[in-house]
Structure 1
């Protein structure tokens, strides 16, 4: 995996490890401590007052995220959903958000079941088609919302192309970059206004903390997000920020192993007679491989596959795996398998799932850091049990 080193900055591994200020200079601590205080003495030199509006652990994590994203501003939140809520709170009744039709199920649920009640409208389009660009020009939405790669179908959207069209009309573009992280893809460099990630996933990488983050170069957007964090109570806990700060230091190392494992497993799955098709961004059979190679450093650690058999066979296959735990989430050091139709996208309308191709035979693998041979053997034995 390429060691991205823009603008003569220190290397990526170095930036991920050295967090800068620890807010404990008098002790000489190498690792930042946890600041669990809910309130702070008035007039302190750092300007802290109440943790809902700022905490040393927030700032430490934000500085790390800004460093690896190579951006001016980062804001941290209690979860990826909290980060989505912070952005949506800047919209007003009547605003239309033009969304990629294959988004994370909880994003869809927020827009359709929550924000819609406050007059925020959504329109869903396939951003891998040329017609989507014309739609931006025609309807002039208040915001464009993308994922690339998408969850769970791993569609790749030409972020730069979309951003060029949107920016010509002054339309902000949000890119959910959870699957890639700034190690693999940096949406802001491709023209996005906001780069959003669930730090619960790869950024933390140990499945033991919830968090979300939004990165931007735009000072006005940073002010809006800070306001949302404080006004809506979307702040993370100092302890979770401390855990994520610890996790991020090994992000480049973890991803290197996960990507290598994923690329090899994708090739193995593609040859298996029980697999109808697979999606992995850097494989030649991916419909948007050329775009993926243009804007991503690697294919990532997620594989989506459609297995042969009925719904019962697919479910039994997931349960028969030993090293792949059947669970929500992704991006941890451990391998996971997910059944999107009944798990991550259970709340999505059945007709929309059918339209997208999220059926009972679709499975999503989050590849971990285990030994490759053990993961391949595990897949084979699970298939053998469910012939």
Structure 2
């Protein structure tokens, strides 16, 4: 068998984990295996219900393992450069399984204060409030803050970079050293970059998490999550939780869709980034925009770090509009090419207002302390013609001027 290290990333993205010679019909793409259970050779089979090995072609029950899911798990591991890949029913399922695998009551977590709101709620309302796991949220843009928050009982350091929605970065290699010194596991949510642009395991992380719903699938038609890691014992614990205790594995059709999506991941990410860089520059120079958050801009406070640890700056950005939430609403509701919707990472461009949508459950004072203002707009830049996206943004700015009774700057001011 070819070693994955003999294949470059785009080649692995297209074909790794799919074996036409093993399908019986020579299928070039992995079939969707929908069976809920599988025939076994006999009652004295050498493998038991929770010990079947998909790598050896052993399948017993769909919750435990599935050929299509196994193919996508192999591919995701290869793309992230890890030994073990697990595919889940959602990104939330993947992250919660990671937390259950690494944390017990009395443990401590150090996490980025600008985490995705759903992950933050999980840590606060489930693990802290119900399961007695203490959590310290810190501004991880400064590695010293992470180091200062470490305790003897710290078992997990959990980061996103860039963060959602403010596109803040943390120094993965430096934080990996901090976590290792404290004998804590270091996990990174790599959803915003995808493995096409960033490889946390190579920078010292122990575990990588993904919402495969986003860039890995890339077409807004599948829900899923993933964990990738090297540690055999941790992987076995995650497998046991996934297969036996929680039953939160990715469904076969979603596995098939994710396999399909990864085939175009490298080329999609190039287009996402090219358009995002042009849009960020346009917004950065617009009189109705107070600030733009995009690591590809030289004005971004961590532009240099982004250039060092990322292979590109990605297709996500956020920007703060002049005015208040009504102005932001007028802007967003005037768009026609760009869709107002949650989620991200698809071929179509999406925008949302975190303060009124994804981050609305966070109290206003807490949101503002984090930098999530009422006019902060998050944009997932798709692969449409960038000229059409720029024209649509101008429609939004025109709507802001029409709404406001206050004098707003004209386009040429």
TM-score (norm 1): 0.95
* 1:48 equivalent in structure 2: 59
TM superposition outliers: structure 1 runs of 4+ over 4 Å: 136-140
1:129 alignment counterpart: 142
Distance 2:20 2:273 in 1: 31
Which residue does the alignment assign to 2:411?
A: none
Rate the CA distance shift 1:191–1:286 in 2: closer, same or farther, 3 A: same
State whether structure 2 residue 170 is matched by structure 1 residue 157: yes
CA contact (8 A) 1:34 1:239 kept: yes
1:206 aligns to 2:203 (yes or no): no
Checking the alignment, whether the CA contact within 8 Å between 2:142 and 2:170 is kept in structure 1 is no
Which of 214, 228, 240 matches 2:241? 228
CA shift at 1:263, angstroms? Answer: 0.5
Whole-angstrom distance in 1 between the partners of 2:257 and 2:146: 40
The one of 101, 105, 110 equivalent to 1:93 is 105
Residue-by-residue CA offset, 1:289-343 (whole Å, 9 max, x unaligned): 1111110011100011000011101011111111111111000000000101121
**Consecutive unaligned residues in structure 2, runs of 5 or more:** 46-55, 402-413
Report deviation, 1:174.
Answer: 0.8
Query: Which position in structure 1 is the counterpart of 2:133?
Result: 120
Select which of 35, 50, 65 maps to 2:76: 65
SS of the equivalent of 1:183 reads: coil
Report the CA distance between 1:136 and its aligned residue: 4.3
1:16 is aligned to 2:13: yes
RMSD: 1.6
Instruction: Determine helix, strand or coil for the equivalent of 1:174.
Output: strand
The answer to whether 1:108 aligns with 2:113 is no
Partner Cα distance (1:264, 1:139) in 2: 46
Structure 1 residue 166 corresponds to structure 2 residue 187: no
Cα offset for 1:23?
A: 7.8
After superposition, the Cα gap between the structure-2 partners of 1:23 and 1:238, relative to the gap in structure 1 and judged at 3 Å, is farther
* Alignment-derived partner of residue 291 in structure 2: 277
Q: Give per-residue Cα distances to partners, 1:193-251, cap 9 Å, x unaligned.
A: 10101000000000000000011111111101101111101111101101111111011
Task: In structure 1, list runs of 5 or more residues that go unmatched.
Answer: 1-5
Post-superposition shift, 1:130? 4.3
Q: SS of the residue aligned with 1:281?
A: coil
Aligned to 2:156: 143
Distance 1:23 1:161 in 2: 44
Q: CA deviation at 1:28?
A: 1.0
2:28 corresponds to which residue?
30
Task: Summarize the Cα distance change of 1:7–1:57 in structure 2 as closer, same or farther, 3 Å threshold.
Answer: closer
Structure 1 pair 243/93, CA: closer, same or farther in 2 (3 Å)?
A: same
1: CA distance, partners of 2:192 / 2:5: 26
Task: Please tell me whether the aligned partners of residues 214 and 346 of structure 2 are also in contact (alpha carbons under 8 angstroms).
Answer: yes
Q: TM-score of the superposition, structure 2-length normalised?
A: 0.90
**Contact 1:22–1:33, Cα closer than 8 Å, also in 2:** no
Structure having the higher Rg: 2
Q: Is the 8 A contact 1:71 1:217 kept in 2?
A: yes
**C-alpha distance in 2 between matches for 1:341 and 1:22:** 48
- Aligned mates of 2:364, 2:148 — CA distance in 1: 25
